[in-house]
Amino acid sequence: MKTQLNAAKIKHRWTQIIGVSVSCSFLFTLIGCAAFVRKFTRKPKGEPKKEEPVIQPEVYPEAAAAKDELYKDYFTFWEGWSAELMEFLNEKANFKKQRECAYEALDSLMKMRGLLNEEKAKGLEPLINEWTTIKDIIFAGRLNSADHQYLKNKIERTKGRVRRNFAYSRIKKDLK
């Protein structure tokens, strides 16, 4: 009987120890590092901070590039995009890259046209129409090897005509 009494006392003692430790840990969790009152009181919302208005705004000078520099840049961009399109015109090339190259080359030609006087802009118009046709063919869908060869030949011919007639050395007097 003495052994049973000791086992019951030990079990009761462990229950008390576990109960006290759970109570202490619960109490420490509630109190935490801050005071108990501060932890559970509602904080006032206060008004949102107002931004200070700009009293005198900064005016930055426009970096207006000269028209001849712009024309040179657009011509260089056009050459780069058309050369890249020639490189990507094959059956294994990325279709999105072909579309991007065609679009950007046409865009550069249109920007070049905007910098030319009316007479030279009209001379550039047929080449823009050819590039529009090239872009439309590429945007239409998947191309076969015959289409790629046709487009490469067409691009080479238009590149030669643009270089021959609209290089900066020939066109510098005709800028707006």
Tell whether the model's pLDDT for residue 3 goes beyond 60.
Answer: no
The residues spanned by each domain of the chain are 8-40, 67-174
Asked if 39 and 31 count as a contact pair (C-beta separation under 8 A), the reply is yes
pLDDT by residue (tens digit) across 152-162?
Answer: 999 999 999 99
Please report the pLDDT score of residue 83 as a whole number. 94
Please report the pLDDT score of residue 127 as a whole number. 93
For domain 67-174, the question of CATH label 1.20.120 is answered with yes
pTM of whole model > 0.85? Answer: no
Dig out the tokens for 169 from the structure.
């050395």
Rg (CA), the chain: 39
88 burial level (CB within 10 Å; 0-12, 13-18, 19+)? buried
Helices within 56-171 (DSSP H only): 67-88, 95-115, 118-140, 145-166, 168-171
